[in-house]
Amino acid sequence: MKATKNSLILAYVLTAMCIASQAKADFIFGTPENLGPVINSASGDGAGATTSADGLELYFCSDRPGGSGGWDIWISTRQSVDDPWGPPANLGPTVNSQYGDCYPSLSSDGLTLYFSGEYSGSPRPGGLGGTDIWMTARVSRNAPWGPPVNLGASVNSSERDFSPTISGDGLTLVFTSTRSGGMGSWDLWTATRASVTDAWNLAVDLGANVNSGSVEGECALSADGLALFFLSNRAGGMGSWDLWMATPKSANDSWGSPVNLGPAVNSAAAEGSAGISADMRTLYFTSDRGGGLGGYDLWQSAILPIVDFNADGVLDLADLVLLIENWGTNNALYDIGPFAWGDGIVDAADLEVLMNYWGQEIPSPFLVAHWKLDETGGTLVADSAGANDGTLVGEPLRQPEGGKVGGALLLDGVDDCVTTEFVCDPSAGPFSVFAWVKGGAPGQGDPVPGQRGQLAPGGHSHGCIDNGTQGYTR
């Protein structure tokens, strides 16, 4: 019988992690999701997305039929944040025009909508010469939008000024401009004001920390003003156009060096037109990648804080201790609140985020494969993080609830194993494998994972803990 064999219990939370560039160490992006046929169409959709503070209104651009001509601003609503978005409605001729209207950005009170013309379209009359930035206002959420007003010469120029994004307090506006005085053909510029009733100060270039000799544009500023997402074709990307992000060390610091959002968001296709939900938990963007409905589509990706600080697959007291040990510092690894990119200090806001995830299943931050081993029968070993399903070889006994995380397998120590297709290319960069092993005879627990029939190559971490003890291998 199986139970009489010299056995090795493999609590096989095998987490293969091909390390890729991430925006910051303290948060990751979820798998991008197409917003589907209710929002997207066979036409172009995207060119900026913005939501109301309660998450019940979504504004975006589309050149689908039924508009005023070219690109128009459309709105979709829903009854609650748990409901799907309803069919979009055109904002109508008071706001939209035959000249193309794009890149909406909604104020936190939902009463002012900033937007611009499309980059390559004819300028709307009444501006300063090129594509300009405009605003429209309403007296209440149920009132109609009023006639657009040009933001004037402090913000606009005779060149093309477009893709505005407004901060949550309404005091900072970031936008794209082709005017002189920048570092490239498209640069990010910013204008500020002392209060929402004051005029805008003269716009200034964001400078070399963010801009380069390449293109930077189509930006989105988080409501707290601490994260700036934008499009660029600078070196270091994954496709022709990628999304990048810059953050300051604290609210009073200048922007840090931009980082590519990595393969979780970017692809070999084009990504652009970033948008951030008002609750700062969802990234919207436009892409012409496969899996869409035609042309450019609107996609979304969850913004997830990394709360499993020691990357052992569980959120427990060890992670809480690490946060407490860094209390009062600006260590980005533990600065996960009040929103994923932090606020420059480890404090009660970060503790609250950690506690909100307590007791939940926590994905590893750079997860590319995860075999839970919680199936009750058959030979399939499902990969919950990707498409790398495995197959049982031999006659291992399943223990669906016997693992340190998930299930476990009782192996015979001879020929029982799990096989999969190649998950990581060792030549592409370092990776780690995590497994919990409770072994029999000494030596039986020695390195389990391998590639091409060999143990993990030099320079890559592996190992196990055996002789009746249980722990995780790295």
For 295-309, letters b (16+ CB in 10 Å) and e give: bbbbbbbebbbbbbb
* Residue appearing with tokens 């390449």: 214
Q: Give the mean pLDDT of 19-31.
A: 59
Treating both helix axes as pointing N-terminal to C-terminal, what angle do 317-325 and 348-356 enclose, rounded to 10 degrees?
A: 170
Residue 430 has pLDDT above 60, yes or no: no
- Pairing mode, strands 369-371 and 471-473: unpaired
The arithmetic mean of pLDDT across residues 286-303, rounded, is 86
Regarding predicted confidence, which is higher, 46 or 11?
A: 46
- Position 46 scores a pLDDT of 77
**Higher per-residue confidence, 413 vs 424:** 413
Please tell me the predicted confidence (pLDDT) of residue 78. 95
Q: Considering the chain, what percentage of its residues have pLDDT values greater than 90?
A: 36
Tens digit of each residue's pLDDT (9 = 90 or more) over 235-273 = 888 778 899 999 886 667 788 889 898 888 888 888 888
Is the pLDDT at 368 greater than 70? The verdict is no
Report whether pLDDT(3) > 60: no
Model confidence band, residue 438 (pLDDT cutoffs 50, 70, 90) = low
- Mean pLDDT throughout 69-83? 91
Give the model confidence (pLDDT) of 309-352 as tens digits: 887 778 889 999 999 999 999 898 899 988 888 888 999 999 99
What sign for the dihedral angle of Cα 81, 368, 263, 339?
A: positive
| Residue with token string 């209710």 | 38
Q: How far is CA 184 from CA 198, 227, 274, in A?
A: 30, 22, 20
Sheet with 161-166, edge to edge strand ranges: 161-166, 172-177, 187-192, 204-205
d(CA 327, CA 350): 9
pLDDT number for residue 460: 35
| pLDDT band (50, 70, 90) for residue 16 | very low
Q: Write out pLDDT tens, residues 108-162.
A: 999 999 999 876 667 788 888 888 999 999 999 999 999 999 999 999 999 999 9
Pairwise CA distance, residues 19 & 112, whole Å: 42
pLDDT, one tens digit per residue, over 196-236 is 999 999 999 999 999 999 999 899 999 888 899 999 988 88
Domains of the chain, residue spans: 2-19+366-473, 27-305
Q: How many residues does the chain have?
A: 474
Strand-pair partners of 116:
102, 133
Residue 245, burial from CB neighbour count under 10 angstroms (0-12, 13-18, 19+)? buried
Residue 84 has pLDDT above 60, yes or no: yes
Classify residue 413 by burial, with Cβ atoms within 10 Å: 0-12, 13-18, 19+: middle
Q: What is the pLDDT, as a whole number, of residue 111?
A: 97
Mean of pLDDT over the chain: 81
**If we measure between CA atoms, which residue out of 43, 56, 14 comes closest to residue 474?**
14
Q: Is the pLDDT of residue 2 over 60?
A: no
Say what the pLDDT of residue 15 is: 40
Pick the CATH number of 27-305 from 3.30.365.10, 2.120.10.30, 3.40.50.11820, 3.30.420.10: 2.120.10.30
Report the C-alpha gap between 21 and 261 in whole angstroms. Answer: 7
- Give the side-chain half-sphere CA count within 13 A for 362: 22
Measured in whole angstroms, how far is the alpha carbon of residue 238 from the centre of its chain? 15
Top-confidence residue, 285 or 369: 285
3-state secondary structure the chain: CHHHCCCEEEECCEEEEECCCCCECCEEECCCEECCCCCCCCCCEEEEEEECCCCCEEEEEECCCCCCCCCEEEEEECCCCCCCCCCCEECCCCCCCCCCCEEEEECCCCCEEEEECCCCCCCCCCCCCCCCEEEEECCCCCCCCCCCEECCCCCCCCCCEEEEEECCCCCEEEEEECCCCCCCCCEEEEEECCCCCCCCCCCEECCCCCCCCCCEEEEEECCCCCCEEEEECCCCCCCCCEEEEECCCCCCCCCCCCEECCCCCCCCCCEEEEEECCCCCEEEEEECCCCCCCCCEEEEEEEEECCCCCCCCCCCHHHHHHHHHCCCCCCCCCCCCCCCCCCCCCCHHHHHHHHHCCCCCCCCCCCCEEECCCCCCCCEECECCCCCCEEEECCCEEECCCCCCCCEEEECCCCCEEECCCCCCHHHCCEECCEEEECCCCCCCCCCCEECCEECCCCCECCCCCCCCCEEEC
* C-alpha–C-alpha distance, residues 169 and 194, integer Å: 10
pLDDT tens, position by position, 161-207 = 999 999 999 999 999 999 988 887 899 999 999 999 999 999 999 99
**Predicted pLDDT of residue 425:** 61
